[in-house]
Amino acid sequence: MTAEGKILVDKQALLGNLLQEQQELTAVEEFAQKHTNKEIPVQKKYYESLIPLSQPKEGEQFAFKVNLDACTGCKACVTACHNLNGLDEDETWRDVGLLRGGNREESSQQHVTSACHHCLDPACASGCPVNAYDKDPVTGIVKHLDDQCIGCQYCILKCPYEVPKYNKRLGIVRKCDMCTHRLEVGEAPACVQSCPTSAISIQIVDQEAVLEESQASAVVPGAPSSEYTQPTTTYESTKPLQKNMLSSDYYALTPQHSHPPLVGMLVLTQLSIGAFCVDVLINLLQKSPLISEMQPFHSVVALCLGLLALSVSVLHIGRPQYAYRALLGLRTSWLSREILGFNIFAGLATVYAALFWLGPIESFIGMDLPLFLKSTGLREGIGIGVAVSGILGIICSIMIYDDCKKELWRGSITGLKFFGTALCLGLTTILLAALAGVYIMKPEHAVDVHSVYTSKLSLLMVVAFTAKLTWEATIFRHLNTPTYSMFKRSALLMKNHLSLATKVRYFFGTIGGVIIPSVIYFATVQAQQGSSSFILVLAVASFVFALIGEFCERFLFFAAVVSKKMPGGV
């Protein structure tokens, strides 16, 4: 071998050795193991005084206590909670926010660490449709039953403190359980163990006292009112917090999660129910042979869109295979009630639609059906049942959001939106269905359809959409008010961060709900013989535009909601 060749071999050998050595982990052999077989935590000496020695008595419970004077915002608690509980890579159960305030003379700031407040009346639990929350009768800890959860995330909307966190990998929500299993054996929760300045501790609180304290107060300035859920965390400070202390993200508006499946579900259920109602009403108010000819078709259209809506809603659920549990929460959860309501609606609507098709059904199954099924009275009765159950379903939908106690989701606002959508899209759908039915199936009624449906429905659409759009737009008047209200923030979000959706909402809504229906109206009024294919194209366009407009409205309903929360960071 040449000298150079040998050097090359040497280099390669060294490289091989180094690469191999790099992968050998020898610390365990090289260094003595400390605390072998020691089960009692050595850290105990630091946290012993920070947790109660006894269990809570009747009427008491465990609660977090934070010494604000000691908290300097290092955020070790967040990471310790993450590590010691083995959370997923980006999952955190504790947050640290910052309040800032003061004036030219004296500036002040205060970091605020918070996790679950283990409330007396946990909103997460009352909203949960599957009873996946359990407030421990002894410790008062609000525990989440991970295996019970179906991942509907309603608790995330319900909790004013943003505590439950959705875990995409598992399709469920998880949250702080005050390290129950640590407390059980006399160990401190991760956050308590890890605070370098012992700012967090666990105390026993009197539940009655918490209730009294929670009247017209908030845990820290800017936090949601404690009346709603009666949080048990106590924040202590020797320095009074200045009046103008604001969370440092107070002006940093961020759009919220838009929940696309919910957007789809809500708009389409309302469309379907609206269509049923409009159709039933038309049937009740007018007598025309055309109507009875068209109803079978209309009811199928409405039913299909309704069923589509309900299947879309399943996309929202992390673990749909357990969706059957959703009725367990009927006693307290509007979500359970909504699910029940819509199921009754869907059942009745299916029967109702089927009643129009008894002839084809008989020939398909090859036997006669009982005669009473064919009575108009039964059909009309069920029709009213469909409408009523649908309306009840929409009321439940409204209550779901009203119950979140967010100003922008108040029942009156949500109600107008949801029923408005039902009316607007109900009209639009039936108009389209009537025209399409005539065009495709009953061309002979081309003239009738305009007098029975088209002119009236299009006029009603113009009125309904104009009213809804105008009312919705009134939120923008808050842009000019000095008060930084939730409405102003929402309007700012729509104007800035969500401007595309806002533009689409008004542009499409106006075209589909006002302009095209006006054209249709004049076209039908002026030319009774009008070209039905032209009007059908207009109706299709109106439907598509109006629907997109409503989807955007609902997207904004979720994305532009602003509510009080625990202080956030810069």
Q: Which parts of 458-517 interact with other proteins (CB under 8 A)?
A: none
Candidates 6, 9, 10, 474: give the one binding other proteins (CB under 8 A).
10
The full DSSP string for 119-148 is -SS-HHHHH-TT--EEE-TTT--EEE-TTT
CB of 319 to other proteins, least distance (A): 9
372 is a site residue for other proteins (CB under 8 A): no
When asked if residue 89 is in the footprint of other proteins (CB under 8 A), the reply is yes
Instruction: Count the alpha carbons within 13 Å of 399 in the hemisphere toward its beta carbon.
Output: 17
What span, in angstroms and rounded, lies between the C-alpha atoms of 269 and 308? 8
72 vs 531, beta carbon nearer other proteins: 72
Using alpha carbons, select from 232, 44, 235, 41 the residue that is nearest to residue 139: 232
- The DSSP secondary structure of 42-53, one letter per residue, reads TTHHHHGGGS-S
The residue among 144 and 417 lying less far from other proteins, judged by its C-beta, is 144
Question: Beta partners for 236?
Answer: 67
Residues numbered 308 to 327 that lie near other proteins (CB under 8 A) are 325
Smallest gap from Cβ 410 to other proteins, in A, equals 27
**Separation in Å, CA 526 to CA 354, 529, 542:** 37, 9, 19
Task: Please name the residue that has the structure tokens 């193991």.
Answer: 33
Q: Which is nearer to other proteins, 187 or 553 (CB)?
A: 187
Taking the least distance from each CB to other proteins, the nearer of 253 and 459 is: 253
In terms of Cβ atoms closer than 10 Å to its own Cβ (0-12, 13-18, 19+), residue 185 is: exposed
Please count the other Cβ atoms lying within 10 Å of the Cβ belonging to residue 335.
25
- Using CA atoms, how far residue 147 sits from 11, 154, 187, 321, in Å, is 57, 16, 25, 12
Give CA–CA dist 211/227, Å, rounded. Answer: 8
CB neighbour burial string for 34-55, b if at least 16 within 10 angstroms, e if fewer: eeeeeeebeeeebbeebbeeee
Q: Find, among 342, 358, 447, 459, the residue nearest to 392 by Cα.
A: 342
Strands, E assignment, 415-513: none
Q: Which of residues 540-569 bind other proteins (CB under 8 A)?
A: 569
Q: Is 6 a residue that touches other proteins (CB under 8 A)? A: no
Distance CA 34, CA 252 (A): 48
Of 9, 59, 102, 215, the one binding other proteins by CB under 8 A: 102
Residue 21 within binding range of other proteins, rule CB under 8 A: yes
For other proteins, give the closer residue by CB, 9 or 284.
9
- Two tokens, residue 51: 């947790």
CB of 29 to other proteins, least distance (A): 8
> Applying CB under 8 A, which part among 58-66, 142-150, 226-234, 337-345 lies near other proteins?
142-150
- Candidate list 107, 217, 286, 375; residue touching other proteins; CB under 8 A: 107
Least CB distance from residue 253 to other proteins, whole Å? 7
Nearer to other proteins, 58 or 90 (CB): 90
If one asks whether residue 72 binds other proteins (CB under 8 A), the answer comes out as yes
Considering only 52, 121, 126, 131, the residue that binds other proteins (CB under 8 A) is 131
33-52 residues near other proteins, rule: CB under 8 A: 33-46
Binding residue (CB under 8 A) for other proteins from 1, 3, 27, 216 = 27
Unique residue bearing structure tokens 């309904």: 464
Would you tell me how many other CB atoms lie within 10 Å of the CB of residue 2? 7
54 binds other proteins (CB under 8 A): no
> Given the rule CB under 8 A, which of 17-25, 152-160, 295-303, 415-423 is the region that contacts other proteins?
17-25
Min CB(449)–other proteins separation in Å: 50
Q: Which of positions 381-440 make contact with other proteins (CB under 8 A)? A: none
CA–CA distance from 290 to each of 217, 350, 438, 449, 539 (Å)? 62, 22, 9, 7, 19
**Residue 194 makes contact with other proteins by CB under 8 A:** yes
C-beta of 217: minimal distance to other proteins in Å? Answer: 24
- Per DSSP, the chain holds a count of helices (H) and strands (E) of 21, 10
> C-beta of 97: minimal distance to other proteins in Å?
11
> What does the per-residue mask of binding to other proteins show for 159-188, with x meaning CB under 8 A?
-----------x-x-x----x-xx--x-x-
Does residue 73 touch other proteins according to CB under 8 A? yes
**Judged by CB under 8 A, which of 211, 307, 323, 328 binds other proteins?**
328
**Binds other proteins by CB under 8 A, chosen from 250, 357, 476, 506:** 250
Q: Note whether 104 binds other proteins by CB under 8 A.
A: yes
Q: Does 22 bind other proteins (CB under 8 A)?
A: yes
- Using CB under 8 A as the binding rule, the residues of this chain from 201 to 240 that contact other proteins are none
**Residues 252-291 within binding reach of other proteins (CB under 8 A):** 252-253
When asked if residue 78 is in the footprint of other proteins (CB under 8 A), the reply is yes
Interface residue with other proteins among 248, 295, 333, 429 (CB under 8 A) is 248
Spatial contact of 556 and 502, defined as CB atoms under 8 Å apart = yes
Residue 112: DSSP 8-state:
E
Residue 515 has, within 13 A of its CA and on its CB side, a CA count of 9
CB of 497 to other proteins, least distance (A): 11
Provide the 10 A C-beta neighbour count for residue 233.
25
